[in-house]
Amino acid sequence: MLKAACLVVFAALSAPSQVASADQNLTSRCVDISVPRNEVVARNGKWIELTPDQWQFLRGVYAMDSESAPGLPYGDKAALAQIAGNSDGLVFFIDGDKACTPMWAPPELLNLIREVATGGVNHQGAGL
């Protein structure tokens, strides 16, 4: 189900009416936040506004992801979309009333996002 929602969102992101200029690539486009949020809600999903700490953390993840566009994502906050019964999520970087630069969030990343929210630190390994 999340894949279907992703397809709808990506289709909306690539719609010519949403493009500010013809030479922008797919990851730099934004849509009205109601488009992905309504798709998630229509599929019995959750739209979760993330904390500023989670947003900062995810900006770093985005910047280091080899599949992301170079640089930092748009916006000054982020939201997580999750569909019931699916272990993955989709992060949207939010710029005002626009949802931008969607980023896939596998279960391992979702666990880290939760840890950031609680301030939990899990040091694995022996250290120096």
**What dihedral do alpha carbons 58, 62, 63, 65 form, nearest 10°?**
130
pLDDT tens for 22-52 read 334 444 579 999 999 999 999 999 999 999 9
Structure confidence at residue 12 (pLDDT): 42
Residue 125 pLDDT grade (very low, low, confident, very high; cuts 50, 70, 90): low
Q: What is the mean pLDDT of residues 66-86?
A: 93
CA distances from 52 to 18, 49, 62, 101, 124 (A): 27, 10, 15, 17, 25
Query: What residue spans define the domains of the chain?
Result: 2-19+26-118
Look at residue 78 and tell me whether its pLDDT is greater than 60.
Answer: yes
